Structures are given as C-alpha cells and as structure tokens.
C-alpha cells in the first residue's frame, strides 16, 4: 500500500496491476452516488464504484 501511495499510482494502473480481481465483484449491484453500479459503462469507474459500494456496505455493519 505504501508503494502505491509513494508511486502516486492512478486507479487505472492500480486495477491493471492487481494480481487477481474477484470475479464475483460483477455481482455487486445497487446505487452509489446516485448511480446504479451495474449501469456504469466506463470500466475503471465501475471498478471504483464497486469499491465504494463495498465500503458503504461494510460501514453499515
């Protein structure tokens, strides 16, 4: 994590360099910031919103 911050890695590079993204993330649905996650067309933005949605869900536990 420190390396990513020190290198100022952007989101596109972060997701491109991820060793393996969980394929089940595509099952995440719902609304974040007023937009349905499953309707987002731009791939990087959809990955970011998947993370947002997970954090929102964890915060409600």
pLDDT digits (tens, 9 = 90+) for 6-51: 888 888 988 898 889 999 999 999 998 899 999 999 999 999 999 9
Structure tokens at 5: 């911050």
Please state the pTM of the whole predicted model: 0.80
Q: Which residues are bridge partners to 36 per DSSP?
A: 31
Half-sphere exposure of 9 (CA within 13 A, CB side): 14
The ranges assigned to domains in the chain are 20-61
Residue 1 scores a pLDDT above 70: no
- Give the single-character DSSP code of 38: G
């Amino acid at each position: 994590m420190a390396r990513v911050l020190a290198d100022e890695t952007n989101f596109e590079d972060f997701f491109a360099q991820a060793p393996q993204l969980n394929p089940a993330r595509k099952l995440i649905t719902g609304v974040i910031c007023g937009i349905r996650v499953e309707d987002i067309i731009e791939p990087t933005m959809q990955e970011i919103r998947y993370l947002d949605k997970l954090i929102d869900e964890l915060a409600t536990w």
